[in-house]
């Protein structure tokens, strides 16, 4: 009870001091971080209630004040915690974070719904986006660390403003790191390394939070550094290293100021005029699948993309549906395009112990008898479960690659069991 009272007093003091500082600010000018910190220091020294606080309490109060005025308020400490991968806000009183695959509720809340709205407006304004009743849903990316933000406001959200922040590590997770996490075996990683070098077109599928973007980053490390790569994303998340000739493109939403929307489809078409060696589309989820398949079928070998699906086979069905969204052509023609454009599907999953694993690596063998032929090369097999509930299993080799023509062209050895 005493802790709750102290917390309430501290929150009231912070709010009171913040209002005093804002009352002294000239809103016709921009203040630097240093100037804001000086104003906070002056207010802390001159306030009787703040003077009664200990040195540690004043130091913490200063940081909280600064975070509430210039950063993301109570969320900032979690944005600075590298172990936090996701922050979920369901209204002002329900805040959750994900650490090491486990979600827990925080004993924190915003002072008011209005304060939460202020933080949301700061986030979207920094990304040159707009969110309001007329446009209650927005996707954005934090300029500081590239974290992905999704905001849903009323009248769509019924229990207050909803914010979901997906954070990414400061340095991309490498294939070696995935090996240490048992997400993939050495044999499968070496297999994929050869195929990336040989410019096979690879599609990564999986459910939400299965690690598709992380795995795409890891695979991209195998791309030769002398190639010209173009990445296309809704919100820039990819962190490709070791590639000097890199072009990064990001979509833009339309706004009331007259800026027209620029979508994935337009960026893909534009990228074809930029002399790419490979095109990497962060994720396909709609009619842009048409343009992506055209890229794969017009000489841009070695390209990669990701998509949501429950299995490798299901990814093919979803691609068919996505193409139909943008092009009214016979299903047989769509399947032929998919079969000739995509060489390999890597399917990821999140198991019941929250671990992320490669569950299947399948080769697209071609189109025959009205169906796309899919051959499993590696499949995950669960063996047991340890005392801590962790799943013990591994990727098992099920077959060999049928089409080795690109390996031969690249001068690389044929892959076999």
Q: What is the pLDDT of residues 35-45, one digit of tens each?
A: 788 888 887 87
Tell me which residue of 375, 312, 380 sits closest to 351, measured CA to CA. Answer: 380
What is the domain range of residue 15?
Answer: 1-58
* Structure confidence at residue 272 as a pLDDT band (50, 70, 90): very high
pLDDT level of residue 318 (50, 70, 90 thresholds): very high
d(CA 373, CA 212): 23
Q: Are residues 216 and 131 in the same domain?
A: no
Residue-level pLDDT at 120: 92
Strands (E), 273-400: 278-281, 304-308, 344-350, 356-368, 371-385, 391-397
Do 287 and 375 sit in the same domain of this protein?
A: yes
Q: Looking at the structure, do residues 363 and 298 belong to the same domain, yes or no?
A: yes
Q: How far apart are CA 237 and CA 229, in angstroms?
A: 15
Is 7 in the same domain as 106? Answer: no
Q: CB–CB of 197/415 below 8 Å? A: no
Q: Are residues 382 and 308 in the same domain?
A: yes
Residue 124 is part of a domain; what is its CATH number? 3.30.450.370
Least confident of 33-47, 99-113, 207-221, 343-357: 33-47
Same domain, 111 and 216: no
Predicted pLDDT at 255: 63
Predicted confidence (pLDDT) per residue in 135-180, tens digit = 899 888 787 777 889 999 999 999 899 999 988 877 788 999 999 9
Beta bridge partners of residue 162, listed in sequence order? 90, 152
Burial of residue 200 (CB within 10 Å: 0-12, 13-18, 19+) is buried
Q: Taking residues 98-119, what's their average pLDDT? A: 89
Please report, to the nearest 10 degrees, the dihedral formed by the alpha carbons of residues 84, 88, 93, 94 taken in order: -90
Same domain? For 205 and 335 the reply is yes
Tell which wins on pLDDT, 278 or 68: 278
Could you give the 3-state DSSP secondary structure of residue 87? strand
pLDDT of 304 strictly over 90: yes
Q: What is the pLDDT at residue 7?
A: 43
Q: Look at residue 68 and tell me whether its pLDDT is greater than 80.
A: no
Over residues 186-198, the mean pLDDT reads 96
Q: What radius of gyration, in Å, describes the C-alpha atoms of the chain?
A: 25
And the tokens for 10? 């501290």
Report how many domains make up the chain. Answer: 3
Threshold 0.85, pTM exceeds: no
* Arithmetic mean of pLDDT, 344-369: 95
Do 243 and 213 lie in one domain? The reply is: yes
pLDDT at residue 317 above 90?
yes
Please report whether residue 339 resides in a domain: yes
């Amino acid at each position: 009870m005493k802790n709750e009272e102290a917390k309430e007093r501290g929150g009231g003091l912070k709010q009171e001091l913040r209002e005093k500082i804002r009352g002294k600010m000239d809103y016709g000018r921009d203040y630097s971080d240093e100037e804001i910190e000086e104003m906070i220091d002056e207010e802390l020294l001159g306030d009787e209630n703040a003077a009664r606080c200990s040195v540690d309490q004043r130091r913490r109060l200063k940081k909280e004040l600064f975070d509430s005025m210039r950063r993301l308020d109570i969320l900032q400490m979690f944005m600075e915690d590298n172990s936090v991968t996701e922050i979920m806000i369901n209204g002002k009183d329900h805040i959750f974070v994900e650490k090491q695959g486990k979600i827990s509720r925080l004993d924190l809340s915003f002072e008011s719904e209005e304060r939460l709205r202020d933080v949301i407006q700061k986030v979207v304004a920094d990304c040159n986006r707009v969110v309001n009743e007329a446009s209650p849903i927005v996707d954005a990316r934090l300029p500081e660390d590239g974290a992905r933000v999704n905001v849903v406001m009323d009248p769509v959200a019924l229990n207050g403003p909803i914010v979901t922040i997906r954070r990414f590590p400061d340095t991309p997770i490498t294939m070696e790191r995935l090996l240490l996490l048992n997400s993939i075996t050495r044999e499968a990683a070496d297999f994929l390394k050869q195929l990336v070098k040989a410019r096979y077109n690879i599609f990564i599928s999986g459910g939400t939070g299965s690690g598709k973007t992380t795995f795409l980053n890891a695979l991209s490390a195998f791309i030769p550094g002398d190639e010209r790569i173009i990445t296309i994303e809704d919100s820039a998340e990819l962190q490709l290293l070791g590639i000097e000739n890199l072009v990064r493109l990001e979509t833009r939403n339309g706004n009331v100021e007259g800026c027209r929307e620029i979508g994935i489809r337009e960026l893909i078409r534009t990228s074809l005029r930029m002399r790419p060696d490979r095109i990497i589309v962060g994720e396909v989820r709609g009619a842009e699948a048409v343009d992506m398949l055209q890229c794969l079928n017009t000489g841009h070998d070695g390209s990669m993309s990701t998509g949501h699906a429950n299995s490798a086979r299901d990814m093919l069905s979803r691609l068919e549906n996505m193409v139909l969204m943008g092009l009214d052509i016979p299903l047989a023609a769509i399947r032929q395009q998919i079969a000739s454009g995509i060489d390999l599907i890597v399917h990821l999953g999140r198991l019941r112990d929250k671990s992320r694993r490669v569950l299947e690596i399948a080769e697209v063998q071609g189109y025959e008898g009205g169906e796309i032929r899919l051959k499993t090369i590696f499949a995950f097999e669960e063996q047991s479960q340890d005392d801590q509930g962790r799943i013990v299993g591994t990727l098992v080799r099920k077959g060999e690659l049928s089409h080795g023509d690109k390996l031969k062209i690249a001068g690389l050895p044929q892959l076999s069991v």
